[in-house]
Structure formats: structure tokens, C-alpha cells
């Protein structure tokens, strides 16, 4: 990714995040975080990766609300960032935080099982004192 694409992506992320903090007419369910923005080579399209802290239903609804407001976000980005072409905004759910939480839970579970197995084996050893 070129530095310019990265800078434009960061600016788009900043604009969208600020607009979300201010609120929309239709509230976005759950707690939405903009993770990353990937802009294509000619800046005509920006994929906005987001995550939602909430239920599966809230995650799905958040995606619908965000994509319904895509034109609004496009105009806000155009107003804030002067580009030759205002990029089409597409919201894509990013399940990376969900996967990370699942991996963390599996590792914790594995660690607890290993600790229980280790603790149990010490109980069988007699103390010769």
C-alpha cells in the first residue's frame, strides 16, 4: 500500500469515526469501531472495515445501518478531504476481534486444563518428610 493510499484511508477512518461519535438519525446498534479503511488504487472506492461489540443481531443491523448511510459518509468524506473523486464507501464487517476473543478463550481453557492436570499429579506424590 502506498503512503498516499494509507494517509487517505486514515483520513477517511477519522472522518467516519467522528461522524459516528456525533451520532446519526438512526442509531447504530452495539458499540461500533472502525478498524481500517482500504482505498483502491484510483481512490474511487473505500472499504471500511468495522467491528461491533454486541449480539449477532446487533452486528448484522449495524452493517445494514452503516451501508444505508454510505452516501452520507461519502459526502462527509468529500467535504473533509479534497480528492479528485469522492470514493464510494462500502462497509464490511471485520470479525478479527471475534476470532481473537475465541482464540484467547481457547488458550485460557487449555491453560486451565493443563494447570488442573499438573495440580492433580502433585496430589498423588507422598511427602517422605
The angle, 0 to 180 degrees and rounded to 10, between the axes of the packed helices 56-68 and 70-80 is 60
pLDDT tens-digit series, residues 88-106: 999 999 887 667 777 877 8
Q: Which three cell numbers stand for residue 6?
A: 494509507
> Model confidence at 116, in pLDDT bands (50, 70, 90)?
confident
Give the residue among 64, 56, 55 at the shortest CA–CA distance from 92.
64
> Model confidence at 121, in pLDDT bands (50, 70, 90)?
low
Contact (CB, 8 A) for 33 and 59? no
Set out the domains of the chain in order of their start, with CATH numbers: 3-95 (3.30.300.20)
Lowest mean pLDDT among 11-15, 36-40, 56-60: 56-60
What SS3 state is found at 53?
A: strand
Rounded to the nearest 5 degrees, what angle is found at the Cα of 81, between the Cα atoms of 77 and 82? 120
C-alpha–C-alpha distance, residues 105 and 97, integer Å:
12
The model's pTM is 0.74
Amino acid at each position: 500500500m502506498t503512503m498516499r493510499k494509507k494517509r487517505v484511508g486514515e483520513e477517511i477512518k477519522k472522518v467516519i469515526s467522528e461522524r459516528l461519535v456525533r451520532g446519526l438519525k438512526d442509531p447504530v446498534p452495539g458499540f461500533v469501531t472502525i478498524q481500517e479503511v482500504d482505498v483502491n488504487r484510483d481512490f474511487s472506492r473505500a472499504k471500511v472495515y468495522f467491528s461491533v461489540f454486541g449480539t449477532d443481531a446487533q452486528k448484522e443491523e449495524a452493517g445494514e445501518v452503516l451501508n444505508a448511510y454510505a452516501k452520507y459518509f461519502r459526502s462527509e468524506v468529500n467535504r473533509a478531504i479534497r480528492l479528485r473523486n469522492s470514493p464510494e464507501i462500502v462497509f464490511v464487517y471485520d470479525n478479527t476481534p471475534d476470532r481473537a476473543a475465541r482464540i484467547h478463550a481457547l488458550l485460557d481453557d487449555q491453560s486451565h486444563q493443563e494447570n488442573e492436570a499438573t495440580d492433580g499429579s502433585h496430589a498423588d506424590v507422598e511427602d517422605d518428610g
